Amino acid sequence: MGSKLSIPFSEKIKSIPGFFGIRLDENPKHQVLKQENDFEVREYEDLSVAKTLTVSSYESSSKKSFWRLAEYIFGGNQTGTKMSMTAPVFIESKSNGWMMTFVLPRDLTKNSVPAPEDKRVQLGVEPSKKWAVLTYTGIPNESVMKQMASKLRSLIETTRRYRITSEPRWAQYDGPMVIPFLRRNEVQMQIEQIQ
């Protein structure tokens, strides 16, 4: 799967400072609307995304999904277009597996996003929404991810100002070679203000 993938030299160079937690990847545009005690309220702009669902355990599906999406952005598409990697990678638990999402670079328009060769890669636009976001570090395994989601849910409910309107999604900014205590991870939940 990942063996035939040709990773562009520019992406390999970015991994060197990335080892030390220095991030050079483009991040999705958002505005921090409020800083609560332990979490942020953000509003993201509309995001062009590529996503894929893998029916497997978290660890297995993470690897398979990552390489499938990486192959798409590094030229495995109908025009052979090579795109830059962005961060974070979003992950969601679904009833039949795990969904991984790459945010596509901002310089691509709706009409210039190339169609994937692999039909398991789906393109779309995520409309602007408000998210509660809790940041944490370390190795993002399934147990830690669920623990952080439970913590964020509790923090949101404690404020009595927001209604949770989605299941959690997790955001991972760094690759597995980054020193664990420097890895940036987030858990995010869509919210609405309670009137």
Q: What is the pLDDT of residues 87-116, one digit of tens each?
A: 999 999 999 999 999 999 998 877 889 999
Q: Give residues with Cβ within 8 angstroms of 142, minimum separation 6.
A: 58, 59
| % of the chain beyond a pLDDT of 70 | 87
Question: Domain coordinates of the chain in residue numbers?
Answer: 28-45+128-195, 47-127
Tell me, rounded to whole angstroms, the distance of Cα 106 from its chain centroid: 15
pLDDT value of position 10? 53
pLDDT value of position 171? 97
pLDDT value of position 110? 76
Q: What is the pLDDT of residues 24-43, one digit of tens each?
A: 457 899 999 999 989 999 99
Lowest mean pLDDT among 14-18, 150-154, 181-185: 14-18
Residue bearing tokens 């409020």? 34
pLDDT value of position 3? 45
Rounded CA-CA distance 63/70 in Å is 10
Strand ranges for the chain from DSSP E: 30-35, 40-44, 47-54, 89-94, 97-103, 122-126, 130-136, 162-164, 169-172, 185-193
For the whole prediction, is pTM greater than 0.85? yes
Token representation of residue 30: 């958002």
In contact, 183 and 21? CB cutoff 8 Å: yes
CATH class of the 28-45+128-195 domain in this structure:
alpha beta
Phi, psi (deg, nearest 5) at residue 50: -120, 130
CATH superfamily for domain 47-127:
Regulatory factor, effector binding domain (3.20.80.10)
